[in-house]
């Protein structure tokens, strides 16, 4: 005869029938071989379960020399209402309450959930609101955008925590923040936040807010032109900056470029932490990115996402009627009004872009939507070139091809139709005629007029590029040296 283990699940005599079973609520339990003795099973979450050993060997392995009745736990995994008697071999310690699903019984297997009927309409697919996609500058009041930069190695990195999902010992009772694992979002945010500021602008009866990134320890800050232009054609006269440490300082505008939508201001403060400026030439779709800024006035806000697309031609317009075509980085990191001019950084905390616009669904001229996962940033290689010019001279330049473009008349033929060629300009010198359809700039495919403008503006004046075009269906390629256009 063998004794059973705890919870009545011990070994039994193989000659006995039937084999021992756990009792279940509302069902009989059985003794071991010899005589079947029906008893109420152990309760599953309620009531006492009566343990009665069979008259044969094995069975439930009753604690000799007597049968005990123990109250069960109210729900699986929660304390029961009583304790095992101290002399019982089932009791872990005198007076300890029992845990589990009842006294001796185990919970019956859960019944599979009934399948939910499909929702009506839309062929079983979830319905979504349909509306026109509208590109909008991400401004709070007057203006606001999120910006970012990257270092020379834009490869995303991550470090797994050894002790917990956020680093440190998850069981530690020590107060304070968990240590940030190197390369984690927490680590990047801690390094980047001191280099991102909130900008407030007042001009007449208008006011707005945006974000900016610190370029030097003596207060030089890069942001968007539309953040500091007060919704008009010139920079505002009253600009102030709030820093991550809670301090504030007045600032003046050193220069602003409406074509690239970049501006540089100088705050009356020193001892600042400049952001690490990277490069945007080696970015990849799917790469992890982090946006830092002040959406809706919420300073030092961090959001995460990936690069959704590169070289996305984005055309935005402002109240003053100026149109800016951006050769944008597209991201699904949340960007909202007030993020304009803030930082988009890679997984190493290097600035790779300046966030400037979002796509919204529908709405009128006065309607300002929030993030729908379609945000756009100015690549840092373009932004920092303009920012350095504005910082040094107050003026900036852009590259030009010397043509005017419009959409092709044939919707099946992608490209940019050249409607006019400037005499003596780069295109004219290279022999590109009016009526040509540009299909590539270098290795980059051109599908529209905006795409051609964005591709040309992604280069610096004086760069030499290959322009592929067709004339009456015949493909040709010309090498063109881009001219310098002074835009402000």
- The tally of CA atoms less than 13 A away on the side-chain side of residue 227 is 43
The number of angstroms, rounded, from the C-alpha of 210 to the middle of its chain's C-alpha atoms is: 20
Instruction: Kindly state the DSSP code that residue 7 receives in the 8-state scheme.
Output: G
The tokens for 381 are 């290689």
Q: Which of 261, 288, 327, 381 is catalytic?
A: 261
- The tally of CA atoms less than 13 A away on the side-chain side of residue 440 is 12
Q: Which of 33, 91, 184, 340 is catalytic?
A: 340
- The tally of CA atoms less than 13 A away on the side-chain side of residue 122 is 9
CB atoms within 10 A of CB 367: 11
Among 220, 364, 376, 258, residue whose Cα is nearest residue 307: 376
Asked if 288 is an active-site residue, the reply is no
**Greatest alpha-carbon span in the chain:** 111
Question: Rg of the Cα trace of the chain?
Answer: 35
Give the Cα separation of 461 and 425 in Å (integer). 13
Asked if 211 contacts 228 with a C-beta cutoff of 8 angstroms, the reply is no
Asked if 277 contacts 380 with a C-beta cutoff of 8 angstroms, the reply is yes
Asked if 155 contacts 149 with a C-beta cutoff of 8 angstroms, the reply is no
Asked if 154 is an active-site residue, the reply is no
Residues linked to residue 467 through DSSP beta bridges, in sequence order:
441, 478
Asked if 226 is an active-site residue, the reply is yes
Q: Which of 7, 211, 226, 280 is catalytic?
A: 226
Give the Cα separation of 394 and 253 in Å (integer). 9
What HEC string does 89-106 produce? CCCCCCCCEEECCCCCCC
Give the Cα separation of 65 and 53 in Å (integer). 11
Asked if 290 contacts 431 with a C-beta cutoff of 8 angstroms, the reply is no
Among 97, 23, 98, residue whose Cα is nearest residue 60: 23
Q: Which residues are tagged catalytic?
A: 226, 261, 340
């Amino acid at each position: 005869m063998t004794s059973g283990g705890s919870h009545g699940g011990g070994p039994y005599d193989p000659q006995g029938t039937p084999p021992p079973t756990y009792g279940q609520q509302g069902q009989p339990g059985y003794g071991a071989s010899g005589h079947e003795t029906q008893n109420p099973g152990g309760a599953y979450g309620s009531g006492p379960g009566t343990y009665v050993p069979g008259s044969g060997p094995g069975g439930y392995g009753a604690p000799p020399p007597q049968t005990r009745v123990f109250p069960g736990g109210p729900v699986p995994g929660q304390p029961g209402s009583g304790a095992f008697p101290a002399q019982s071999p089932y009791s872990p310690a005198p007076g300890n309450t029992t845990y589990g699903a009842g006294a001796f019984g185990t919970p019956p297997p859960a019944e599979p959930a009934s399948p939910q009927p499909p929702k009506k309409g839309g062929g079983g697919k979830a319905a979504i609101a349909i509306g026109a996609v509208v590109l909008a500058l991400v401004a709070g009041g007057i203006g606001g955008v999120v910006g970012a930069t990257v270092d020379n190695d834009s490869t995303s990195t991550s470090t797994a925590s050894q002790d917990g999902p956020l680093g440190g010992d998850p069981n530690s009772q020590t107060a304070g923040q968990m240590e940030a694992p190197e390369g984690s979002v927490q680590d990047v945010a801690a390094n980047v936040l001191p280099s991102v500021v909130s900008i407030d602008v007042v001009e007449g009866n208008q006011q707005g807010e945006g974000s900016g990134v610190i370029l030097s320890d003596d207060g030089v800050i890069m942001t968007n032109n539309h953040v500091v232009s007060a919704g008009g054609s010139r920079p505002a006269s009253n600009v102030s900056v709030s820093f991550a440490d809670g301090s504030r300082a007045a600032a003046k505008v050193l220069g602003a470029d409406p074509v690239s939508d970049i501006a540089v201001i100088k705050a009356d403060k020193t001892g600042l932490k400049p952001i690490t400026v990277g490069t945007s030439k080696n970015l990849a779709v799917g790469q992890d990115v982090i946006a830092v800024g002040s959406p809706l006035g919420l300073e030092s806000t961090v959001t995460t996402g990936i690069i959704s697309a590169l070289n996305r031609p984005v055309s935005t317009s402002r109240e003053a009627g100026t149109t800016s075509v951006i050769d944008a980085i597209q991201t699904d990191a949340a960007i909202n009004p007030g993020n304009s001019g803030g930082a988009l950084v890679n997984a190493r905390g290097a600035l790779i872009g300046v966030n400037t616009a979002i796509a919204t669904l529908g709405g009128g001229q006065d309607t300002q939507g929030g993030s729908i996962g379609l945000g756009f940033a100015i690549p840092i290689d373009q932004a920092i070139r303009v920012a350095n010019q504005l910082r040094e001279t107050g003026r900036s330049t852009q590259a030009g091809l010397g043509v005017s473009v419009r959409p092709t008349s044939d919707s099946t033929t992608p490209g940019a139709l050249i409607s006019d060629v400037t005499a003596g300009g780069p295109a004219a010198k290279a022999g590109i005629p009016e009526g040509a359809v540009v299909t590539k700039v270098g290795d980059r495919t051109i599908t529209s007029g905006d795409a051609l403008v964005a591709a040309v503006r992604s280069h610096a004046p004086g760069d030499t590029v290959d322009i592929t075009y067709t004339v009456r269906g015949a493909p040709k390629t010309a090498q063109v040296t881009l001219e310098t256009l002074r835009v402000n």
